[in-house]
């Protein structure tokens, strides 16, 4: 086989993202995640529903005091995007004033702990997320040929967003119909992983600044990972409504744990409390605020720093739920 043909198939194999998916999966399995590829979900396309999938789904179980007892779980969906070395992902920072930011701190990691009889410290999640760089949108810049486009970033986030409702619904139903002792707090995250370097544009970014600089580093800082915002539009709202149609009616069963979760949350809270029944109603209504809270924020991570990010999330959630 000629060198030209060899380079072609190697380049195309890398571009398929299959090797990156495998390396991401290896990182997770080395941390004791259970991994499956191509997590499927249905999405309407035209007049019909079509099956789509995210690249990876991972499940991590938190044993604190004994390997025989599960104290919490983390569900993860990931999309993997392999890029050539000369391609960089560049993101706009959050330009809003702090009081008007579109971000809701504490919801990039979705804590579904109200569907259990275990108290946790959700405030630690907010403190953790508050340290991240926040981005409103991103583009890919090819430093070799000058091309700039955002298709792969938008596609990756969209795949994650449309898969999340199924993950959240299944998590809630599992706890509602499990033995009460097995209904442990569950956390859900979505993450877009790329081998490309990530940059956040500086505050002084402008049209004139772009004309002045010679290097990307002059107008942006490199970051290991960030949280990116993505609006939930009308199509996603319809998608979500269909998934959660009659949801509360389906799980409000005397054989289930929903009323026990509600009583526990009410009893152990001094003032307001996280009501599992109200959460189910909100998911069923699929109003804009609910969709914004659960589906508008996603982790984006450079693969080089992926193990570090996952380690930090696992340590955080250990402290959030530790008895």
What are the residues facing 255 on neighbouring strands?
none
Specify the pTM: 0.92
pLDDT at residue 6 greater than cutoff 80: no
Cα distances (Å, whole numbers) of residue 133 to 136, 160, 199: 10, 20, 10
DSSP letters spanning 263-311: HHHHHT-SS----HHHHHHHHHHT-HHHHHHHHSEEEEEEGGGHHHHHH
**Averaged pLDDT for residues 10-37:** 92
Strand stretches in 34-124, DSSP E = 34-45, 48-62, 72-81, 87-93, 110-111
Q: 139-169 burial, b if ≥16 CB within 10 A, otherwise e?
A: ebbeeeeeeeeeebbeebbbbbbbbbbbbbb
Phi, psi of 14 (to 5 degrees): -60, -40
Q: Closest Cα partner for 109 from 320, 323, 272, 322?
A: 320
Whole-number pLDDT of residue 67: 59
Instruction: Give the pLDDT score at 321.
Output: 84
Q: How much is the pLDDT for 150?
A: 92
| Range 17-32 average pLDDT | 95
pLDDT tens readout for residues 67-107: 566 788 999 999 999 998 899 999 999 988 878 888 999 99
pLDDT tier for residue 271 given thresholds of 50, 70 and 90: low
Q: Using the predicted structure, report yes or no on whether residue 3 has a pLDDT greater than 90.
A: no
Q: Indicate if the pLDDT at residue 123 is higher than 90.
A: no
Can you tell me whether residue 233 is helix, strand or coil? coil
- Express as a percent the part of the chain with pLDDT over 90: 68
Please determine, for residue 255, whether its predicted confidence score (pLDDT) is greater than 80.
Answer: no
User: What integer pLDDT is reported at residue 234 of this predicted model?
Assistant: 92
Q: Which two tokens stand for residue 185?
A: 């707090």
- Average pLDDT of the chain, as a whole number: 90
Q: What percent of the chain stands above pLDDT 70? A: 94
User: Between 102 and 272, whose confidence is greater?
Assistant: 102
Q: Is the pLDDT of residue 127 over 60?
A: yes
Structure tokens at 231: 């609006």
Contacts of 121 (CB under 8 A, 6+ apart): 319, 320, 321
Q: What is the pLDDT of residue 65?
A: 53
Q: How confident is the model over 304-309, as a mean pLDDT?
A: 97
Q: How far apart are CA 109 and CA 214, in angstroms?
A: 38
User: For residue 122, what pLDDT is reported?
Assistant: 85
Give the integer Cα–Cα distance in Å for 24 and 18: 10
Report CA dihedral (298, 303, 308, 314) to the nearest 10 degrees: 50
Q: Does pLDDT of 140 surpass 60? A: yes
Q: Which whole number is the average pLDDT over 242-251? A: 91
pLDDT per residue over 172-225, tens digit each? Answer: 999 999 888 888 899 999 999 999 999 999 988 999 999 999 999 999 999 999
> Minimal CA–CA distance to 306: which of 76, 135, 105, 140?
76
């Amino acid at each position: 086989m000629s060198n030209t043909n060899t380079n072609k198939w190697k380049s195309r194999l890398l571009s398929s993202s299959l090797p990156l998916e495998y390396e991401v999966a290896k990182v997770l399995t080395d941390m004791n995640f259970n991994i499956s590829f191509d997590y499927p979900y249905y999405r309407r396309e035209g007049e019909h529903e079509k099956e789509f999938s995210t690249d990876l789904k991972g499940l991590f179980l938190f044993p604190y005091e004994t390997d025989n007892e599960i104290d919490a779980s983390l569900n993860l969906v990931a999309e993997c995007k392999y890029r050539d070395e000369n391609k960089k992902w560049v993101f706009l920072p959050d330009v809003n004033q702090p009081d008007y930011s579109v971000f809701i701190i504490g919801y990039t990691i979705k804590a579904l702990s109200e569907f259990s009889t275990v108290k946790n410290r959700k405030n630690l999640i907010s403190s953790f997320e508050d340290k991240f760089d926040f981005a409103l949108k991103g583009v890919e810049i090819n430093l070799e040929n000058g091309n700039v486009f955002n298709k792969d970033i938008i596609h990756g986030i969209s795949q994650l967003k449309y898969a999340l409702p199924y993950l959240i619904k299944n998590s809630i139903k599992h706890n509602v119909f499990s033995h009460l002792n097995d209904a442990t707090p569950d956390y859900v995250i979505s993450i877009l992983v790329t081998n490309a370097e990530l940059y956040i544009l500086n505050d002084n970014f402008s049209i004139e600044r772009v004309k002045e600089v010679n290097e990307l580093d002059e107008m942006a800082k490199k970051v290991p990972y960030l949280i990116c915002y993505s609006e939930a539009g009308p199509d996603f709202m319809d998608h979500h409504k269909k998934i959660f149609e009659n949801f509360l009616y389906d799980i409000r069963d005397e054989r289930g744990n929903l009323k026990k979760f509600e009583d526990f949350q009410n009893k152990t809270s001094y003032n307001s409390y996280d009501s599992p029944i109200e959460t189910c109603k909100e998911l069923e209504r699929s109003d804009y605020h609910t969709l914004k809270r659960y589906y508008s924020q996603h982790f984006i991570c450079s693969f080089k720093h992926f193990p570090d990010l996952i380690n930090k999330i696992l340590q955080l959630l250990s402290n959030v739920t530790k008895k």
